[in-house]
Structure 1
Amino acid sequence: MNRNNVFLSLALAVALAAALGLSACAAGGQRAGETASGPARETAAPAQQESGAAATTASAATSALPSPAPSASATPVPAAPTATASAVAGVKTFTFPDGHLSFSYPSVWSVRLVGSPGNAAKLRGVQAVVADATGNELASVTSSTSASNASGPVARTVLDTAPVPGLKDVDGEQLAFGFAFDSLADQSDFHMSVRKQRDFAPAVADSGSAYVSFANGGAEAKVLFGSPAFASVDAAKAWMTTEQYSQLKRLLLTLKYS
């Protein structure tokens, strides 16, 4: 073999080896690229999710913090008006012109004043007549009168009684509400009124007076009954279970003097 042929063979071998080396390098770079662009990116994704969860937790923690209190210089908001006690309870209060005697009654009822306010100074009496929503007159309260305190023997059956809170006569004696049936020498009747408490004591023998005395004169508070009021004591007891009875009892128990 001549020298030229040897050199040519060597050159071809070197060229072939170089070509094979370049091919191997190219194939290795592609696989690395797949690793970097595929699983590596998927591995990085949880890191982003953790970052998002942390941000969510931080946001929740921030929203859970209490709102800052308003500054002292903030304009106060007025409170909403509230209903008065009379409106809530459904009652009204009537006070006599001289400002002393008063009582409460259902708001759907009415009060009619009889007599001039000037009568009070002359002890001629000023009367408040109470009627229900239909106009039926049920009760009467009279103030500033010079009525008699006459009394007499009686056989009294007390059906109901209770002291009027804080109400005493001019002598300091406790007054009470009472519903009773009286048997007198010549008649029998029912009465529901405010009198001295002892007038409704068990086995009372003296009728007492329907009038009580205050510093501004005599007063009378009573329920207006027809004649006869009831056919029997049992009929009266049946009436005591009605709403009307409860309303009239409450009216008498609200009597006040100031």
Structure 2
Amino acid sequence: MNQRTAALLSLAASAALGLSSCAVPGERAGSGLPAGSTAPAASTGSPTPGSGPAAGPTGPAAASAPAATPTSAQPSAVAVTVFTFPDGHVSFSYPSEWSVRVVARGEGGMQATIADASGNELASVTSGTAASDATGPVARTVLDAAPVPGLTGADGGQLSFGFAFDSFADHVAFHMGVRREADFQPATESAGFAHVELPNGDSTAKVIFADPAFDSVDSAKAWMATAQYSQLKRLLLSLSYK
């Protein structure tokens, strides 16, 4: 094999590796993890000062998480853009390389769908809608939860970010979004509602998962240690109402 041929083969191999690492448009949050991924061991060191609300599970809901729950990965400093719905009430920040697509929802309502740089739709936020959800008994395990500083319900109650799963007889359902604080308490027995009530109407803020979202609870915990999880958590925690 001459030197020119060897060089061409080397370039082709490098290109193939580069393509295999790119996200595939149409993937949902968490879908990039290999099947059977497991969470890394929890760090025993002291928390980093100034790490902010996305550093890991906080509040009473953290008590329901297993001891090995990993601390969320801290992405390097990323430029963010603030999006505000046309009525000027609900806002959130997201990585500047991501995009937001807005469509009308019902009478006066709007839906913002957030996609990453590869076009994968990862989250959705609605504002000023009229939501209708069903609720009932639930066996819920909360993996992460924290109050959303800039958001309270129409009744003045605190609203919370949370990542949890509900156990049913034949499957496990993962969900990550913003709900009433009570919905992410360790011993909650009611499913609650996926939407929250704000002064301008109902709002739903959630991460868009595939179905099923993860092949195991360990895979979900492993995802919590990724930059994608941290970015989505920061987005949800940045929600505010004026």
Structure-2 residue corresponding to 1:16: none
Matched-pair contact (CA < 8 Å) for 1:155–1:205: yes
Please tell me the root mean square deviation across aligned C-alpha atoms, in Å.
1.5
Q: Relative contact order (C-alpha < 8 Å, sep 6+): which is higher?
A: 2
Shift of 1:162: 0.4
Distance 1:151 1:185, change over 3 A: farther
Deviation, 1:186, is 6.4
In the other structure, the counterpart of 1:34 is: none
Match of 2:123 in 1: 139
Report deviation, 1:183.
1.6
Equivalent position amino acid for 1:144 in 2: G
Cα drift, residue 89 of structure 1? 5.4
1:196 and 2:185 matched: no
Match of 2:38 in 1: none
Looking at structure 2, the residues matched to 133 and 175 of structure 1 have their Cα atoms a distance apart, in angstroms, of 29
**Does the 8 Å CA contact 1:92/1:105 hold for their aligned counterparts?**
yes
Name the residue aligned to 1:103. Answer: 92
Q: Deviations over 1:204-254 (max 9, x none)?
A: 100000000011110000000000000111000000000000000000000
Please give the per-residue CA displacement for 1:143-190, whole angstroms capped at 9, x wherever unaligned.
111112431100001000000013110000100000001124665310
Asked if structure 2 preserves the Cα contact closer than 8 Å seen for 1:145 and 1:219, the reply is yes
8 Å Cα contact 2:177-2:236 kept in structure 1: yes
Give 1:234's aligned amino acid: D
Amino acid at match of 2:172: S
- Compare 205-214 and 176-185 and name the one that shifted more: 176-185
Select the structure of larger CA radius of gyration.
1
State the partner residue of 2:138.
154
Aligned partners of 2:99 and 2:115 also within 8 Å: yes
- Residue type matched to 1:236 in 2? A
Q: Are 2:150 and 2:238, in contact at CA under 8 Å, matched by a contact in 1?
A: no
On the 8 A contact 2:150/2:239 being kept in 1, the answer is no
Larger helix percent:
1
TM-score (norm. length: structure 1):
0.62
Correspondence for 1:233: 217
Letter in 1 for 2:120: N
C-alpha separation between the residues in 2 aligned to 1:136 and 1:194?
Answer: 21
Relative distance call for 1:214 and 1:186 in structure 2 (3 A) is farther
CA distance in 2 between counterparts of 1:231 and 1:184 reads 15
Aligned sequence identity (%): 65
Equivalent residues in 2 for 1:211-222 (5 A)?
A: 211-222=195-206
Deviating above 6 A after TM superposition, structure 1's stretches of 4 or more consecutive aligned residues are none
More divergent stretch after superposition (88-97 vs 170-179): 88-97
Give the total of aligned pairs: 166
Could you tell me how far apart the structure 1 residues matched to 2:224 and 2:78 are? 22
Alpha-carbon separation, structure 1, partners of 2:199 and 2:145 = 25
AA partner of residue 95 (structure 1): T
Asked whether the equivalents of residues 153 and 184 of structure 1 are also in contact (C-alpha less than 8 Å), the reply is no
Q: Does 1:172 align with 2:172?
A: no
User: Which secondary structure does the structure 1 equivalent of 2:211 belong to?
Assistant: coil
Equivalents in 1 of 2:100, 2:126: separation in Å? 12
Measured in 2, the distance between the counterparts of 1:184 and 1:152 equals 12
Give the AA of the match of 1:237: K
1:115 maps to which of 87, 92, 104: 104
